[in-house]
Each structure stands twice: as structure tokens, then as C-alpha cells.
């Protein structure tokens, strides 16, 4: 994404990091909803060296030190694994650039917290899948990410956003905001409110399975949307999983479900014409195939059986979060137009409704893909 030049504004910040070359240009970059991301271009002789500069959203990530400790720990672990497998440690995971003071982030005098990553060149992050097979590759990369972290000491991870995918608590928060209705927006969205309320009963399904040990707690990414993976445009292969802010203990079903709600839709997450939003079952099948493969046999029978539930619940949860934020006055997700969060909520609910209609088909696909994985 191009945008207003921010070179002068960001120059003092960039100087705090150990970057190669002289500052060329700093411009806004990417489509994240949370952090402020810029591309930094440095010049060294003929060479152009790029970095990603991010202002960490500290109203969401209240403890940036804990956040960065998670990221440096996880990337160190991943680099060891990647290196042992003969991979490229500078491309296959994020590299945090140190500050001149030797830290992993810089706190500016105005309180803003910034970090820098090496830019991973020759890759792209997509908002929508272009070739269905590429979705299988993305799934494999997310599954492999989880696999590589399966021996990460989970107890050392900080829970940077407590109860991040606790759908029941998210529902309670939704009800509280609805009761308060601070902007008087509730009356106009009664259809969406009813949609959520009708589905309240099933919201604890995954939490219940976790609580009684029927599915395992794993180190998961927790924000597996398609634009959080860098793909090689030539081969379609997943190169690097990014946006590691929410790596925390969770379930594989969070990672699977979140990827489906975003990537297996026929429309963008914020499509205004909800009639264009459908669950693409071919994409769903490709994702199941890639994810099972990427997890390399570690998914239990119960986890596999619950994949459709993960997809439905994560989609419902995300729609509910967008609706909550709409009711609250758009204080969490960045918006770019009026009603943006409501549009996002509606696409998610359209997907939930369609998943409910296509439930048997989704279960059949999972059964077929699990059988295929068993044969391969």
C-alpha cells in the first residue's frame, strides 16, 4: 500500500535502530488492522536495503517488552529449527533488528513504541487467494509453524492479550457494550445482535474440550489470516509466517478457523455487498489438506474432527468482535470508512450462516482429507 511520505516524521525513530545505509524513504505499508506499518528504504552506495518499521499499538499490547520478549524467543527457536533443516534463517522467519541501545524495541519520548524487522524481499502477502492450490501451501506453512513450535516452552510465553480467543468472554464483553450502547448504534443493528444471541449456546465448545483435555493446548499463532503469511509469487509456497504478536498457548482449531474465515471466502473481509460473500468449499478442502500435512501427523483425531467447528466459531467470534467495536465507536480495529466494522461483521456472519448450511459437506471434506493424509 502506498501513502503519504513519512520520512521526516520517522527519521528520528529510525536513527535509534542499527540499520545499514542512509535513510532514503519511509512510507506507509500493508493492510494490518492493528499496528502502524512503514516500509523503510535505506541507501548504501548502489544498494537499496529495506526494513519494516512498526509502531506497536500499545493500547492493545499494553506491555511491549513482554510482546517483544515473546517474539524474540519464538524467532530464536524457529531460526534454530530452520537452520537445522538447512533453510534460510533470514527469510523463513522474522528477524528483529536491534536498537542502538541493544534492545528489541525503542520507546520514543512521546511514549510511542517502535520495532524494526528486516524486510523479506521477493514475497507478497495477499488479501485474497488467486490460485486455489496456493491456499494449500499457505495452510501447510501455518501447520508447519505450529509444528516447529510444538517443543517451545509455552510457560515462558507472556499472555499478551489474555483470553484472546475466549469466545465466551468475548460474548460477555459484547453483551456489556450492547447494554451500554455508548453511541446509540444498537437499534439499527438488531438483526446482527440477534444473529449473535441465537448462537450463544455453542460459544464454549472449544473451551470445554480444552478444559477437559479432549483437545491439547498448543503454542499457536492465533492470527492466521492470509495477509499474515509472505508467499513466493513464483512458486506460491509460503516463505514466512509474520505478525507474531499473538503467538500464545491456544488450540490448533483457532489457527485453522481464523485462516478459513478470511481465506476461504469468495469476497474480502470488508466487502460491502454481502451477497458476494460465500464459503468456497474448494478452498476449504485445500486448506484442510495443507494444514493436516503441515502439522505432520500431530493433529489428534478429535482436533481433526473439530476443524469445521473451529472454522465456524472463529468466524462467529471475529464477526462479534467487529460488531462490538462498531457499537463501541471503532476503538480497536482501524477503520477507513464509516460503517467499516459493521461491513466486516456482516461478511463474517454471512460466512457463519453459510457454514451452517454446508455443515455436512464441510465434515465430509474433512473426513476425505484425513483419509487422504492417512494414505499419503
Catalog residues that contact ligand ADP under the rule CB under 6 A.
Answer: 29-35, 37, 52, 94, 117, 119-120, 125, 227-228, 230, 242-243, 245
The residue within the footprint of ligand GN1, chosen from 134, 140, 192, 223 (CB under 6 A), is 223
Phi, psi of 238, deg, nearest 5? -75, 125
| Residue 242 Cβ vs ligand ADP, minimum distance, rounded to whole Å | 5
Per residue, the 3-state secondary structure of 105-159, as one string, reads CEECCCCCEEEEEECCCCCECCCCCCCHHHHHHHHHHHHHHHHHCCCCCHHHCCC
Nearer to ligand GN1, 7 or 266 (CB): 266
Read off the C-alpha cell for 318. Answer: 471475529
Residues 6+ positions from 44 with CB-CB distance below 8 Å = 20, 21, 22
**348 makes contact with ligand GN1 (CB under 6 A):** no
3-state secondary structure of 50: strand
The residue within the footprint of Mg ion, chosen from 92, 140, 243, 269 (CB under 5 A), is 243
**245 makes contact with ligand GN1 (CB under 6 A):** yes
**270 makes contact with ligand GN1 (CB under 6 A):** no
**# residues near ligand GN1 by CB under 6 A:** 13
| Residue 35 Cβ vs ligand GN1, minimum distance, rounded to whole Å | 7
What's the CA gap between 358 and 100, in Å, rounded?
Answer: 54
Give the range of 10-18, 110-118, 202-210, 239-247 binding ligand GN1 by CB under 6 A: 239-247
Nearer to Mg ion, 140 or 243 (CB): 243
| Residue 33 Cβ vs ligand ADP, minimum distance, rounded to whole Å | 6
Give the range of 19-27, 240-248, 251-259, 335-343 binding Mg ion by CB under 5 A: 240-248
Nearer to Mg ion, 243 or 258 (CB): 243
Shortest CA distance to 165 belongs to which of 214, 205, 125, 212? 205
3-state secondary structure of 210: helix
Angle at 9 between CA 4 and CA 13, to 5 degrees: 125
**Residue 330 neighbours by CB distance under 10 Å:** 17
Nearer to Mg ion, 32 or 319 (CB): 32
Nearer to ligand GN1, 311 or 318 (CB): 318
| Residue 280 Cβ vs ligand ADP, minimum distance, rounded to whole Å | 21
3-state secondary structure of 270: coil
* Footprint on this chain of Mg ion (rule: CB under 5 A): 32, 228, 243
Amino acid at each position: 500500500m502506498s501513502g503519504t511520505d513519512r520520512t521526516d516524521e520517522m527519521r528520528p525513530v529510525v536513527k535509534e535502530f542499527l540499520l545499514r545505509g542512509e535513510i532514503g524513504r519511509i512510507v506507509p505499508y500493508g493492510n494490518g488492522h492493528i499496528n502502524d506499518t512503514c516500509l523503510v528504504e535505506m541507501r548504501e552506495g548502489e544498494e537499496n536495503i529495506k526494513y519494516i518499521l512498526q509502531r506497536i499499538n500499545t493500547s492493545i499490547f499494553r506491555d511491549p517488552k513482554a510482546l517483544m520478549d515473546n517474539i524474540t524467543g519464538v524467532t530464536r527457536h524457529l531460526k534454530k529449527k530452520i537452520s537445522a533443516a538447512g533453510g534460510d534463517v533470514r527469510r523463513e522467519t522474522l528477524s528483529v533488528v536491534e536498537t542502538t541501545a541493544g534492545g528489541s524495541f525503542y520507546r520514543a519520548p512521546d511514549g510511542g513504541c517502535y520495532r524494526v524487522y528486516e524486510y523479506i524481499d521477493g514475497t507478497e502477502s495477499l488479501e485474497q487467494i488467486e490460485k486455489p492450490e496456493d491456499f494449500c501451501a499457505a495452510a501447510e506453512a501455518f501447520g508447519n509453524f505450529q509444528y516447529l513450535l510444538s517443543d517451545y516452552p509455552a510457560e515462558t510465553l507472556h499472555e499478551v492479550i489474555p483470553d484472546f480467543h475466549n469466545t465466551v468472554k468475548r460474548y460477555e464483553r459484547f453483551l456489556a457494550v450492547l447494554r451500554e450502547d455508548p453511541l446509540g448504534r444498537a437499534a439499527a443493528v438488531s438483526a446482527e445482535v440477534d444473529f449473535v444471541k441465537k448462537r450463544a449456546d455453542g460459544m464454549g465448545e472449544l473451551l470445554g474440550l480444552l478444559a477437559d483435555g479432549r483437545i491439547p493446548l498448543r503454542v499457536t499463532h492465533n492470527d492466521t489470516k492470509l495477509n499474515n503469511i509472505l508467499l513466493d509469487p513464483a512458486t506460491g509456497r509460503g516463505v514466512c509466517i509474520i505478525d507474531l504478536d499473538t503467538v500464545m498457548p491456544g488450540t490448533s482449531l483457532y489457527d485453522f478457523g481464523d485462516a478459513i474465515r478470511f481465506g476461504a471466502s469468495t469476497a474480502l473481509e470488508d466487502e460491502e455487498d454481502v451477497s458476494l460473500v460465500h464459503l468456497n468449499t474448494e478452498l476449504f478442502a485445500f486448506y484442510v489438506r495443507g494444514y493436516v500435512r503441515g502439522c505432520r501427523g500431530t493433529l489428534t483425531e478429535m482436533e481433526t474432527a473439530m476443524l469445521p467447528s473451529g472454522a465456524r466459531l472463529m468466524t462467529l467470534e471475529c464477526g462479534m468482535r467487529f460488531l462490538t467495536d462498531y457499537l463501541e465507536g471503532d476503538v480497536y480495529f482501524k477503520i477507513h470508512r464509516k460503517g467499516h466494522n459493521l461491513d466486516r461483521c456482516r461478511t463474517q456472519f454471512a460466512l457463519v450462516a453459510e457454514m451452517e448450511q454446508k455443515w455436512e459437506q464441510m465434515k465430509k471434506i474433512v473426513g476425505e482429507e484425513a483419509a487422504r493424509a492417512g494414505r499419503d
